[in-house]
């Protein structure tokens, strides 16, 4: 086998091992004290499989680096995959400090969703564009990923805290917001499911449209609910779009991206609806009984520690190293590019988190809500800013 094949197999192996490890971590959540010994064994198996999976993903990373000749963090597939790896690494470290198996039941599925989301984008190795041909690519991007991976653990701890502590017996603003967070996770799963389905079907539809007085084409890999603005379908025997993408949505392939969002919302909503139909209650209410043996104070401490570690790392990579590279590449350290703006928004948010926690005493539930919101900003930066907002970072 060549190295690229080994790389692909290693990534797939890591994905499967993380999935199996999630099942073992789930087995540690028991209501009876008599099951504690079995739970400890399941936890040890779970963390062992997680470590083996991480090593497999490290093999993927190294072999892909050898094949490409540069650190595999240059496009959205590589970056999101590396982010998932950083999140798993952060979880492993936190686990050995706190021995909280329930954290794996939530952290690993989030990492799996991130890796699966990454695999929906082109995986081919391509030469670096000139602006990325710098050693700062390794320094800046890997540091940002590590910081975001650690901050993702604060989100996991905060989410578990909210599911455990919020009163699910009555409907309230808190339960509505919490259920909205869980629903958003289903939208990501919906994107993965619908994209995988039509990829297996090898679906393809080509549109021709005019952008900036130039005629260009774009390929849809999902049936066109929203076609390009003033676009013409060239592929026969494929679905005609129901409407056109609004003219104000600009940028490369805006119609295709908007169409993907629509399909993700539809599929994710159907999946969420089916789960609600089966459970006959809110998803948070169904999960809550399994978490009653977890100490909220431990979750709150994990949330806080993750931010205190992840925030300085993100500051170093997302602001300081980024500014240095921008000065070298574009002869200015700051230019109000959308990616730069939202990196700054992320930094200000977590700075506010630490300020409110240390000076205003925002512990427990308030801190957990902030951790969840902070990760939402990170994902907005990684997805919407990367895919929708045009800027100097659009190559990502």
What digits encode the pLDDT tens for the residues 211-262? 667 778 888 888 888 888 777 888 888 888 888 887 776 655 677 878 888 8
Supply the pLDDT for residue 387: 66
- Does this model's pTM top 0.75? yes
Q: Which domain holds residue 363?
A: 3-168+282-387
Domain boundary among 281, 307, 342: 281
Domain boundary among 281, 302, 317: 281
Q: For residue 395, tell me if it sits in a domain.
A: no
Supply the pLDDT for residue 215: 78
Closest by Cα among 257, 278, 277, 267 to 387: 257
Domain boundary among 281, 298, 323: 281
On whether both 43 and 157 belong to a single domain, the answer is yes
Supply the pLDDT for residue 67: 86
Taking the C-alpha atoms of residue 2 and residue 58, their distance in angstroms, rounded to an integer, is 17
Each residue's pLDDT tens digit, 96-141: 998 888 898 899 999 998 888 888 777 777 777 666 677 777 888 8
Q: For residue 329, tell me if it sits in a domain.
A: yes
On whether both 156 and 35 belong to a single domain, the answer is yes
* pLDDT score of 36 more than 60: no
Tell me which residue has tokens 């901050």: 151
Q: For residue 96, tell me if it sits in a domain.
A: yes
On whether both 318 and 373 belong to a single domain, the answer is yes
Closest by Cα among 275, 278, 392, 388 to 326: 392
Supply the pLDDT for residue 49: 94
Helices (H), the chain: 3-27, 36-68, 76-98, 101-118, 136, 142-165, 173-200, 254-279, 283-287, 296-314, 322-330, 338-359, 364-380, 386-387
Closest by Cα among 79, 98, 103, 100 to 152: 103
Q: For residue 333, tell me if it sits in a domain.
A: yes
Taking the C-alpha atoms of residue 387 and residue 79, their distance in angstroms, rounded to an integer, is 13
On whether both 57 and 162 belong to a single domain, the answer is yes
On whether both 27 and 62 belong to a single domain, the answer is yes
Q: For residue 392, tell me if it sits in a domain.
A: no
In order of 101, 128, 185, 341, 368, the CA distances from 379 in angstroms are 25, 24, 11, 14, 17
Closest by Cα among 182, 37, 176, 52 to 106: 182
Taking the C-alpha atoms of residue 303 and residue 367, their distance in angstroms, rounded to an integer, is 8
User: What is the arithmetic mean of pLDDT over 150-169?
Assistant: 92
Element (H, E) at 233: strand 232-233
On whether both 22 and 64 belong to a single domain, the answer is yes
On whether both 154 and 227 belong to a single domain, the answer is no
Q: For residue 393, tell me if it sits in a domain.
A: no
* pLDDT score of 325 more than 90: no
Write phi, then psi, for 286 (nearest 5 degrees).
-70, -35
On whether both 271 and 311 belong to a single domain, the answer is no
Helix axes 142-165, 296-314, angle to 10 degrees: 160
Q: For residue 240, tell me if it sits in a domain.
A: yes
On whether both 151 and 287 belong to a single domain, the answer is yes
Closest by Cα among 143, 182, 193, 202 to 275: 182
On whether both 30 and 152 belong to a single domain, the answer is yes
268 vs 336, residue with greater confidence: 268
58-79 burial, b at 16+ Cβ within 10 Å, e below that, comes to ebbbebbbebbebbbbbbbbbb
CB 175 within 8 A of CB 166: yes
Report the half-sphere exposure of 365 (CA within 13 A, side-chain side). 10
- Domain tally, the chain: 2
Q: For residue 307, tell me if it sits in a domain.
A: yes
On whether both 314 and 268 belong to a single domain, the answer is no
* pLDDT score of 56 more than 50: yes
Mean confidence (pLDDT) of the chain: 85
In order of 20, 76, 99, 105, 129, the CA distances from 26 in angstroms are 10, 30, 14, 6, 44
């Amino acid at each position: 086998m060549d190295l690229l094949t080994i790389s692909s197999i290693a990534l797939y192996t890591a994905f499967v091992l993380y999935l199996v490890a999630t099942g073992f971590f789930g087995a540690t959540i028991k209501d009876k004290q008599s099951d504690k010994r079995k739970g400890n064994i399941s936890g040890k198996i779970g963390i062992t499989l997680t470590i083996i999976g991480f090593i497999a993903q490290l093999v993927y990373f190294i072999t892909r680096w050898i094949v490409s000749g540069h650190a595999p963090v240059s496009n959205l597939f590589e970056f999101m995959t590396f982010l998932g790896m950083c999140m798993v690494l952060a979880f492993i470290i936190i686990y050995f400090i706190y021995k909280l198996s329930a954290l794996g039941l939530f952290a690993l599925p989030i990492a799996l969703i991130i890796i699966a989301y990454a695999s929906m984008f082109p995986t081919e190795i391509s030469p670096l564009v000139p602006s990325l041909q710098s050693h700062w690519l390794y320094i800046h991007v890997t540091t940002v990923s590590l910081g975001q991976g650690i901050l993702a653990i604060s989100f996991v701890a905060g989410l578990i805290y909210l599911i455990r502590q919020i009163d699910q017996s009555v409907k309230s603003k808190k339960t509505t917001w919490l259920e909205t967070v869980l629903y958003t996770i289903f939208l990501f799963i919906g994107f993965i499911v619908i994209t995988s389905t039509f990829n297996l079907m090898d679906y393809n539809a080509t549109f021709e449209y005019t952008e900036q007085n130039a005629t260009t084409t774009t390929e849809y890999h999902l049936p066109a609910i929203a076609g390009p603005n003033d676009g013409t379908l060239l592929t026969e025997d494929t679905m005609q779009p129901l409407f056109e993408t609004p003219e104000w949505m600009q940028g490369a392939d805006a119609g295709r991206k908007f169409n993907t969002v629509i399909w993700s919302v539809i599929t994710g909503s159907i999946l969420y609806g089916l789960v609600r139909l089966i459970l006959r209650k809110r998803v948070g209410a169904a999960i809550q009984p399994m978490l009653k043996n977890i100490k909220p104070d431990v979750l709150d401490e994990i949330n806080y520690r993750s931010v205190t570690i992840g925030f300085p790392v993100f500051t170093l990579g997302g602001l300081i190293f980024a500014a240095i590279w921008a000065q070298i590449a574009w002869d200015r350290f700051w230019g109000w590019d959308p990616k730069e703006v939202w990196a700054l928004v992320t930094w200000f948010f977590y700075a506010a988190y630490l300020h409110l926690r240390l000076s205003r005493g925002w512990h427990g539930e308030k801190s957990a809500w902030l951790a969840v919101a902070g990760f939402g900003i990170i994902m907005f930066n990684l997805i919407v800013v990367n895919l929708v907002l045009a800027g100097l970072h659009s190559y990502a």
